[in-house]
Amino acid sequence: MLLPSKKDLKTALDVFAVFQWSFSALLITTTVIAVNLYLVVFTPYWPVTVFILTWLAFDWKTPQRGGRRFTCVRHWRLWKHYSDYFPLKLLKTHDICPSRNYILVCHPHGLFAHGWFGHFATEASGFSKIFPGITPYILTLGAFFWMPFLREYIMSTGACSVSRSSFDFLLTHKGTGNMVIVVTGGLAECRYSLPGSSTLVLKNRSGFVRVALQHGVPLIPAYAFGETDLYDQHIFTPGGFVNRFQKWFQSMVHIYPCAFYGRGFTKNSWGLLPYSRPVTTIVGEPLPMPKIENPSQEIVAKYHTLYIDALRKLFDQHKTKFGISETQELEII
């Protein structure tokens, strides 16, 4: 009998690491619902479900108050396999002083923001060594914190709910050296996540600038080169039935249903896992922001423009290193 080589075992662990995170929300949600339905309908152990729901209600605001991080989870060996799968690489252009707080804005979202998670929710890329004295808090959809056990898993990595109360708490109640990390494009950018694309949904998204001004914290632009290359999408005929359904669905729930695909469990197979392609996130220079308690729309627009200029500069300085044409520019919509 032929035993798998160390390389084969390493590859299998890399694939499993990506699979378990990519589909953890679906797997945990399905399991929790099925088990609790079984307990309530078919067993006398319904008080277990009552206890879980009571705890959920009691703990409801924790994702808006710094979450519940476990450093040991961020250092899991599993995340190293996750990072090696692509691989992921995190680079900085400037040192970050831990005597202040920051808002780091990462672009683009891609389909699943794999780079954002791997770099800032785990230590697989060496965040603590690259940014000593800085504590990262990734902000994500509040819906992820509605499901018992799933919320614990997500919070253990340092994730919090993306809400105004989360921003205010992390920037005022946790001392200094905190880095709040958001992906402003969000799910709206999924439809533009195509190989080679550099389209960002940012023109009308200025809430993060207002928050930065109100707290007087610097904004840090970051760009993940390669994030949009991890999946392919099937683009349906504009105006066709499927395309009209996609737009209708987006208008109803604010999520654009993409027909995406990648690879399977083996390298040359078809499936829903991301392609094994490198993602390098470049963290730019902090953009100082004055503290203005109630900034006018004109002030917000001014600093929003300054932020976009800084992001364009970061993109232009590094794009050719990652196979992007010198003439290609960021498209801000």
The predicted-structure confidence for 32-81, as pLDDT tens digits, reads as follows 999 999 999 999 999 999 999 999 999 999 999 999 999 999 999 999 99
- Compute, in degrees rounded to 10, the torsion defined by CA atoms 263, 267, 270, 273: -20
Asked whether 271 and 248 are in contact (CB, 8 A), the reply is: no
Residue 1 clears pLDDT 60, i.e. is over it: no
* SS3 category, 62: helix
- Rounded to an integer, the average pLDDT of 196-207 is 94
Q: What is the pTM of this model?
A: 0.92
Asked whether 198 and 330 are in contact (CB, 8 A), the reply is: yes
* SS3 category, 31: helix
pLDDT value, residue 54: 96
Parse the chain into domains and list their residue ranges.
Answer: 6-231+274-332
